A and B are shown apart, each in its own frame.
Chain A
Amino acid sequence: MISLLIIIFGITLIYLAVAERMKTYNALIAVQGLLLFFITYIELKSLDVWHLILILLETLIIKVIVLPYFIYRSLIKKSGDRPVSLVVPGYISLTVVSVIIFFSFLLSYMLHDQQIQVKYFTGAIAAIFTGLYLIIVHKQVFTHMMGYLIIENGIFLLSLAIGNEMPLTVNLAVLLDVFSSVLILGIFINRLDNFSSLDVDQLKELKD
């Protein structure tokens, strides 16, 4: 079951490489959140109640409901679901992301570390590098934020791969930080939109 969920997670990464609409990005990030919710639920059933509630809150409530709704209301609805300009042709991104996923597989199987769970580790590394790739090739702040969210999802999977427990206070602090960082990023994207455009090329006034 978990393998299937991880494969679907990989497919969302490939779809993200060629997505052209803001809505598609948002929906895919929400789907990733949902997948993470199912994975965590299956994986962590044995945990104590508070940890479980906290992690489910992070995945289901925040990643699937609150953030996508917030992004939709504050960014997409206002700007009318603009198409995202692709600097690199879709087929190249498709190839790059496929290569990233392939090498993540290869890396995870080569590590032979008993501490890590190969499935999660593959998904995590693939998500982190896909997020970084999307940030590098896109020139709009909206897609940059999406890239950041993909990296966040990758880090979440990485923590599952390792299975190292952190104290509840630390988990709570991390959750609060991640949540507020996305909200604040969203608020500033909104401000940028009011000022000029959301194209990174316009943000070049600060220089020597």
Chain B
Amino acid sequence: MAEIYFIASGIIIITLFAVRSTTVSHTLVFIYIAFLGWLCISEWQLLDQNVSGLLHADALGVLFLFVTLIVTFFSAMHYIIYAQKRNQGARAISIHNGSFVIFVTAISGALLSTHIGMLWAFLEASTLSGASLIYHDRDRLSLEATWKYLFVSSIGVTLGFAGIMFLSIAAHNTPNYISNLVEIAPQMNVGWIKTSFIFVLTGFSVKMGIVPLFTIDIDAKDSSPSPVGAMFSGPLMSVGFLAIYRFYQIYCHTSILEWMNNLLLFTGVLSLFLAAVFILKTNNYKRMLAYSSMEHAGLILVAFSTGVNGYLVAILHLILHAFAKAGLFIQIGQVHRVFSSKAVESCGGYFKVSPTGSITLLAGLLAIVAMPPSGLFMTEFMLFKSLMISGKWWIVFIVMILLCFFVYAMVRNFFNLIFIDNPQAMIRQTVNPLESVPPLMLIGVVLIFGVVSPDFLISIIKQAIQVLPK
């Protein structure tokens, strides 16, 4: 199944770079998304079957494939508006769409990989295609962001490769298939696997947007078009998490489980702390959203570090955050277009310009700061519960204080944007109210989730975490 998908993607990518018709280019992207949808469904159906080979998704892979499918669909849809309103040339659109399809194919490939080396190759491919997406506007700032992203990300992913090498030393001559590695994990040398996990966490932090290599991720989300920011905050973050998770999945059957949990907790809290410091300082809406993504990535790690009580919470939080943040990025893209600025001091009175857009932003704010009925409220509540169960009261205290900073910064900036008239804010374009419907739908999913949680989703997450210690 996966082979057909990759062949189809290859053909579509080549055609996309060759065509110079905007309509054909956009149509091809949606044909590609249809293939991705087909892949998701076929992998879902194959979930309980024993399939060998390099490319076959497990339950977590299938779950993230669906997240990728949904966010990709909305991102591609919004890019049509983005390109139209900015009068992008056919060539720029072809390059973007071609790189976009490579990027999504790389992400889906990483989600499907059953071999650690293959996972690495797809992660590197996502870096290269991601760089082309960031460089979309061809200006000085996007060039700076692209260079930094490309360079630091390449170094990060190379360090990740060193982590894979250390794993190979510990695994002796066992083939690097995840299933094989899980089996022999208890016999691995503790020193090597600890070194391997440090390298992997450092290297792939660039994909998840956490400490230590988070800065380029912020720059990338700021300088790229907003639909790309949505992809970076959703599917790419999921794939970064999955890359770290794969190693956790192998090493959790050894004596370093507790050590890994402590390392993840430390990284998570440090990410939260740094994101809190920077979000208070920033005066740019897109950077604010990027720091908020870093905050949620930190929360996901903290949840995951609590062990058996936190695995489900972490994965659920990741999925809901992907939808909420994608919706917000798309909507902030509209704000950027209206005021021709992302700076807090150059925007204001948005409610008068676009009531539907403002409602979407307010709904997104509610969802992202985890206020009821947001699904993120539920996951954060469960996170605190699992921290308390594991007796980490001081972490509860620190995280709660840090979360207050995020709520304050986000509410202050969003209220300034929506309700406060700003004489410096120049309205450059009017907007169609229907444009805000797709992001509102994404955010709506997160809000509804706080009230009704679908059983099939919970059961598939439970199936995914069955491989982790009970």
Contacts and interface: CB of A to CB of B under 8 A. Distances in A.
On whether the two chains bind one another, the answer is yes
Contacts of B171: 164
Given A135-B155, A185-B150, A205-B144, A177 B124 contact: yes
Interface centre among A135, A178, A208 (most CB of B within 10 A): A208
B278 A159 contact: no
B143 A170 contact: no
B282 A208 contact: yes
Contacts of A165: 173, 175
A115 interface: yes
Contacts of A128: 162
A85 interface: no
Contacts of A163: 173
Interface majority SS (helix, strand, loop, mixed), chain B:
helix
A173 B169 contact: no
B162 A181 contact: no
B78 interface: no
Contact of A164 (B120, B151, B176): B176
Contacts of B117: 166-167, 170-171, 173-174
Contact of B127 (A141, A144, A181, A195): A181
Closest 4 CB pairs of A and B: A173-B121, A170-B117, A177-B124, A164-B168
Q: Which of A151, A158, A170 lies at the interface centre, i.e. has the most chain B CB atoms within 10 A of its CB?
A: A170
A6 B124 CA distance: 28
A102 interface: no
A191 interface: yes
B161 A192 contact: no
Interface of A: 113, 115-116, 128, 135, 141, 144-145, 148, 151-152, 155, 158-159, 162-167, 169-171, 173-174, 176-178, 180-181, 184-185, 188-189, 191-192, 195-196, 203, 205-206, 208
A206 B54 contact: no
Contact of A167 (B54, B140, B151): B54
B120 A174 contact: yes
A169 B122 CA distance: 12
B168 A162 contact: yes
B144 A206 contact: yes
Nearest to B149: A188
B147 A141 contact: yes
A160 B155 CA distance: 20
Main secondary structure of the interface of A (DSSP, over half): helix
A12 to B, nearest CB: 19
Nearest to B280: A208
A148 B158 CA distance: 9
B189 interface: yes
B219 A148 contact: no
A152 B189 CA distance: 25
B165 interface: yes
Contacts, number: 110
Max count, chain A CB within 10 A of own CB: residue among B54, B120, B162: B162
Contacts of A177: 121, 124-125, 128
Interface of B: 54, 115, 117-118, 120-122, 124-125, 127-128, 131, 135, 140-141, 143-148, 150-151, 154-155, 158, 161-162, 165, 168-169, 171-173, 175-176, 189, 192, 219, 222-223, 278, 281-284, 287
Given A141-B147, A191-B143, A162 B115 contact: no
Contact of A206 (B145, B168, B278, B281): B145
B128 A155 contact: no
B137 to A, nearest CB: 13
A188 B146 contact: yes
A152 B278 CA distance: 33
B250 to A, nearest CB: 15
Given A148-B154, A184-B150, A185-B154, A155 B162 contact: yes
8 contacts: A148-B154, A148-B158, A155-B162, A170-B117, A170-B121, A180-B128, A181-B150, A181-B154
Given A167-B54, A192-B147, 20 more contacts: A113-B189, A128-B162, A141-B151, A148-B151, A155-B161, A164-B173, A165-B175, A169-B118, A170-B121, A173-B121, A177-B121, A180-B128, A188-B143, A188-B150, A203-B147, A205-B141, A205-B144, A206-B141, A208-B281, A208-B282
Nearest to A173: B121
Contacts of B155: 135, 148, 151
A174 B121 CA distance: 5
Contact of A205 (B140, B151, B154, B165): B140
B151 A203 contact: no
B158 A158 contact: no
A192 B142 CA distance: 11
Nearest to B154: A181
Contacts of A173: 117-118, 121-122, 125
Given A155-B158, A162-B165, A203 B131 contact: no
A173 to B, nearest CB: 4
Nearest to B125: A177
A151 B151 CA distance: 12
Contacts of B222: 206
A170 B147 contact: no
Given A128-B162, A148-B158, A208-B287, A113 B169 contact: yes
Contacts of B165: 155, 158-159, 162
Contact of B128 (A145, A174, A184, A189): A184
A84 to B, nearest CB: 17
A152 B165 CA distance: 13
B54 A151 contact: no
A169 B54 contact: yes
Nearest to A159: B165
